Amino acid sequence: MTTDMSLISLVMGASLAVQIVMVLLLIASLMSWSIIFTKRGLIRRTKIACDEFESRFWSGGDLQTLYQNTAR
């Protein structure tokens, strides 16, 4: 009396409702990871831009020029 406990056999042996729920959970997980990596990139680019701005601000240059360059 051996039972196959592999992941594939468990999914294939599940009811249709359970399979649909698992597919929906997989899709939601992939979407979540996509959002996480997108936000991570956005935060990294924003941090770089802030660091560059701070460096230009404290360099002692003309504030009017800094404002004009930042407004673009």
The parent domain of residue 28 ranges over: 7-71
Q: Is residue 1 part of a domain?
A: no
pLDDT tens-digit readout, 28-52:
999 999 999 999 999 999 999 999 9
pLDDT at 69: 84
Helices (H), 4-15: 7-13
Q: Is the pLDDT of residue 2 over 70?
A: no
CB 70 within 8 A of CB 53: yes
Q: How far apart are CA 66 and CA 53, in angstroms?
A: 9
Half-sphere exposure of 59 (CA within 13 A, CB side): 12
Q: How far apart are CA 31 and CA 37, in angstroms?
A: 10
Number of domains making up the chain: 1
Question: Is the predicted pLDDT of residue 1 greater than 60, yes or no?
Answer: no
Residue 66 falls inside a structural domain: yes
* Per-residue confidence (pLDDT) for residue 16, from 0 to 100: 95
Band the pLDDT of 3: cuts 50, 70, 90: confident
Q: Please give the model's pTM, rounded to 2 decimal places.
A: 0.68
CA-to-CA distance for 39 and 66, rounded, in angstroms?
28
